[in-house]
Structure 1
């Protein structure tokens, strides 16, 4: 197997893979490679180490059971912030003590970690991020294979037909390598991989069944003089394919021992945090309450004002009538 690279910019490289028969490596093939120890993926990441000369985020396209026949690819995105972190696996210590290299995070996603190891000088090896792991893991270490095998096992076990999983590394929250299997691309930088629609599943099924993709249907509609029906639910396509790195320039760190920092750079309408993380907006509530109180006060104070005005009018009118009556009375009496 061989890989080809596309240099997007100085910070981003895309990797695509071709098998020995010149066919494209599929997502299913990728999982099988990981089951065998992930040597081919490791070689691609070694190339990323040499080219970027820095730590990086590793991100893969969304995967479902229905997309397993789609070609596999991935991107690495340079991160200077990841370079400056110090190895710290204490947030994962409970799982490390239990010799568990995979577990469910506080947010309900799957994390896979390498267990700490020491070299011949009894010094702990630096596995703070994927770059360091690829560079420092000894050839004799069992984890060189078992780590990727566990990634394959957990990915395959959590795949669903219609609900995608996002495979990636981030690491700005906890400075110890953890591959993530997320239900939402909350920590993704590469916009192209954030998108997933029903068409992705349909296209993959068409490839599997040997059916023509939807583009051919549109072409047939053109021949028949029919206009294709637009899909208004289709998300906008990122034409320039540039990465969005909100966490690179302004990383936000979590104070609790959750698996990663506060997510940024996503559409909050689509990707909402858990209900327990949502805080009521007391400031807005109090403001609305004050406005309602003012309106209620104005409404209440306007009622006595109208009543007093009516009494004044009645009183003045009565006084005038009395004065006129008295004037007529005295005038008639004087005339007699």
Structure 2
């Protein structure tokens, strides 16, 4: 538990969450357990591939966090640190960064096969980060940020996104730190970042390798 934090707990089936709340609710750190055993990064990356219940639980906790604008950040992970307890932190940004969704900056990477749950994976323009991006379902799709995706996206699209994250993290893991986050201040479309440095990180404890 973080010093000075208020702690909330949530249960869904065999999964439990402990949420440390600081800064008047503006910073929320989530940790999980399964049948009372803490979940590690190794566990969660694997479970995202096949355990729909855990994905549902995490998505619902984030969606009902009470925050409207926020960033989502994980501590850095390497092959050697996979057995540390998994956690992520939501940091309030106050208002959402964007007033409307616009996926056009990513459109060249989207498929054209008519599937409603497609997820694109590609490098950013600088080539120093891998992006995992849910593709629009139609012209009115509003995935401007994580909050809107969790509110508007289908269950199938959420499952597909986290399954793709699992596969991408496994492919990117090495002996060098990998930072997984959603920043969102740039393009007005949800994109998870797998970075080699904490480029846009706001939560100071996670900036250290």
- TM-score, length-normalised on structure 2? 0.83
Q: 111, 123, 138: which one pairs with 2:131?
A: 111
Cα separation, partners in 2 of 1:83 and 1:107, compared to 1, 3 Å:
closer
Q: 178, 184, 187: which one pairs with 2:191?
A: 178
Q: How does 1:315-334 map to 2 (within 5 A)?
A: none
Residues 31-55 of structure 1 deviation map (CA, whole Å, 9 limit, x = unaligned): 0121126542442342233232412
CA radius of gyration, larger in: 1
Measure how far apart 1:83 and its partner are: 4.9
Cα separation, partners in 2 of 1:195 and 1:55, compared to 1, 3 Å:
same
Is the CA contact (8 Å cut-off) linking 1:19 and 1:25 kept in structure 2?
A: yes
> Following superposition, which runs of at least 4 residues in structure 1 exceed 6 angstroms of deviation?
none
Measure how far apart 1:70 and its partner are: 0.7
Q: Which residue of 2 aligns with 1:277?
A: none
1:19 and 2:39 correspond: no
Q: Which residue of 1 aligns with 2:178?
A: 165
Is the CA contact (8 Å cut-off) linking 1:52 and 1:78 kept in structure 2?
A: no
Cα separation, partners in 2 of 1:84 and 1:92, compared to 1, 3 Å:
closer
Deviating more after overlay: 29-38 vs 9-18: 29-38
Is the CA contact (8 Å cut-off) linking 1:38 and 1:149 kept in structure 2?
A: no
| CA distance in structure 2 between the partners assigned to 1:37 and 1:146 by the alignment | 12
> Which segments of 5 or more consecutive residues in structure 2 lack a partner in the other structure?
1-14, 114-118
Greater share of helix: 1
Measure how far apart 1:138 and its partner are: 2.0
Secondary structure of the corresponding residue to residue 96 of structure 2: helix
Is the CA contact (8 Å cut-off) linking 2:97 and 2:184 kept in structure 1?
A: no
Q: Which residue of 2 aligns with 1:297?
A: none
Q: Which residue of 1 aligns with 2:116?
A: none
Q: Which residue of 2 aligns with 1:242?
A: none
Residues 259-307 of structure 1 deviation map (CA, whole Å, 9 limit, x = unaligned): xxxxxxxxxxxxxxxxxxxxxxxxxxxxxxxxxxxxxxxxxxxxxxxxx
Secondary structure of the corresponding residue to residue 100 of structure 2: coil
Aligned length: 188
RMSD, aligned CA? 1.8
Q: Which residue of 2 aligns with 1:135?
A: 151
Secondary structure of the corresponding residue to residue 56 of structure 1: strand
| CA distance in structure 1 between the partners assigned to 2:171 and 2:134 by the alignment | 19
Q: Which residue of 1 aligns with 2:89?
A: 75
Residues 73-99 of structure 1 deviation map (CA, whole Å, 9 limit, x = unaligned): 110111234254310100001011466
Q: Which residue of 2 aligns with 1:58?
A: 72
> Which segments of 5 or more consecutive residues in structure 1 lack a partner in the other structure?
197-336
Q: Which residue of 2 aligns with 1:188?
A: 201
Secondary structure of the corresponding residue to residue 82 of structure 1: coil
Cα separation, partners in 2 of 1:167 and 1:38, compared to 1, 3 Å:
farther
Is the CA contact (8 Å cut-off) linking 2:55 and 2:162 kept in structure 1?
A: no
Is the CA contact (8 Å cut-off) linking 2:26 and 2:67 kept in structure 1?
A: no
- TM-score, length-normalised on structure 1? 0.53
Is the CA contact (8 Å cut-off) linking 1:6 and 1:15 kept in structure 2?
A: yes
Q: Which residue of 2 aligns with 1:152?
A: 166
Cα separation, partners in 2 of 1:170 and 1:39, compared to 1, 3 Å:
farther
Q: 29, 33, 43: which one pairs with 1:29?
A: 43
